[in-house]
Amino acid sequence: MSEVSKIQLREEEVDLEALAKPHSRGCLRSFRALRLYLTADLHRYHAGRFHFWRHFLFTPGYKYTFWMRLSGYLKTGRITRLTLYPIAKFILLHCRYKYGIAIPEYTEIDPGLFINRFGGIYMHGHTKIGHDVTLSAMTMIGQTNRGKRAGTPTIGNRVFMGVGAKVIGKVTVGDDSAIGVSALVTRDVPPNSVVAGIPAKVISEEGSEGYVNRTVPAELLAACYAANGRALP
């Protein structure tokens, strides 16, 4: 039986009505998916699964990612949403104020998130983030409310965001791109590009190679998507 079929058989354990709501769209649907996604995230920190406790206790970026994904998972269960979710959410909010990272638990973030430095990081909850994305301190991914680009960004796979980088509005940042220090992105970024400046402009076609390191292995990546009922992009 395929992983997708197993997820479908367990739908009775998940509050599907909650998943359909905007504030639940990015939440993981099964404990297996949660475990695999956290393993993929941990891999980006140059660590194996046996180094979990070191990074959970002493690495702010991974600690926040752990509570973010766990809160999202607990939010989807009929029982856990009323019992364990409030506790996990409280800890997540504590981490938000302590480390200066504000990423809602319902944000659609694929495996392999790496928060390189903490402080001043903000992400709108309707943002879509690909796999193996690297965030630096003071990065912001936000929404615009008017104009032809009203909406939130879509960030591709293996994207690097430098310190202070900003992506605003309904724009798409292509796969394997790098956003320079303090750049302001207000238009689509082609794949394999390096952008810099205000507003950001393409300055190179070298992409994020060398800046996005230790990406999630293909086998683990495929298992993550299968466990979450999705096809590998």
Q: Both 6 and 98 in a single domain?
A: yes
* Region 221-225 average pLDDT: 97
Q: Both 53 and 141 in a single domain?
A: no
Q: What is residue 2's predicted lDDT score, i.e. its pLDDT?
A: 52
Pure H helices in the chain? 3-9, 16-19, 31-43, 52-58, 60-75, 85-99, 218-227
* Region 217-221 average pLDDT: 97
CA distances from 60 to 54, 66, 137, 162 (A): 11, 10, 12, 18
Domain-located, residue 144: yes
Q: Both 1 and 94 in a single domain?
A: yes
- Tell which residue, 189, 194, 185, 130, has the closest CA to residue 158: 130
Q: Tell me which residue range forms the domain holding 200.
A: 113-215
17-55 residue pLDDT tens: 444 566 778 899 999 999 999 999 999 998 776 789 999
Give yes or no for residue 12 having a pLDDT over 80. no
Q: Both 91 and 117 in a single domain?
A: no
Q: Both 89 and 64 in a single domain?
A: yes
Q: Both 117 and 80 in a single domain?
A: no
Q: What is residue 7's predicted lDDT score, i.e. its pLDDT?
A: 44
Domain-located, residue 2: yes
130-172 residue pLDDT tens: 999 999 999 999 999 998 999 999 999 999 999 999 999 999 9
Greatest alpha-carbon span in the chain: 51
Q: What is residue 40's predicted lDDT score, i.e. its pLDDT?
A: 97
Q: What is residue 23's predicted lDDT score, i.e. its pLDDT?
A: 76
| Domain count across the chain | 2
Q: Both 209 and 227 in a single domain?
A: no
Query: Please, which pLDDT band fits residue 5 given cuts at 50, 70 and 90?
Result: very low
Q: What is residue 50's predicted lDDT score, i.e. its pLDDT?
A: 76
Domain-located, residue 108: no
Q: What is residue 20's predicted lDDT score, i.e. its pLDDT?
A: 53
Q: Both 9 and 84 in a single domain?
A: yes
| HSE-CB for 196 with a 13 A CA cutoff | 11
Domain-located, residue 195: yes
Mean per-residue pLDDT of the chain: 91
- The span from the first CA to the last CA of the chain, in angstroms, equals 21
| Partners of 114 in the β-ladder | 134
Q: Both 224 and 209 in a single domain?
A: no
Q: What is residue 125's predicted lDDT score, i.e. its pLDDT?
A: 94
Give yes or no for residue 3 having a pLDDT over 80. no
Domain-located, residue 196: yes
In this structure, what CATH number is given to the domain that contains residue 179? 2.160.10.10
* Region 89-116 average pLDDT: 97
Domain-located, residue 127: yes
* Region 179-196 average pLDDT: 97
Give yes or no for residue 231 having a pLDDT over 90. no
Give yes or no for residue 9 having a pLDDT over 50. no
How would you classify the pairing of strands 108-109 and 114-115? unpaired
Residue 87 neighbours by CB under 8 Å, 6+ apart: none
Query: Please, which pLDDT band fits residue 10 given cuts at 50, 70 and 90?
Result: very low
Q: Both 88 and 15 in a single domain?
A: yes
Task: Enter the pTM of the model.
Answer: 0.88
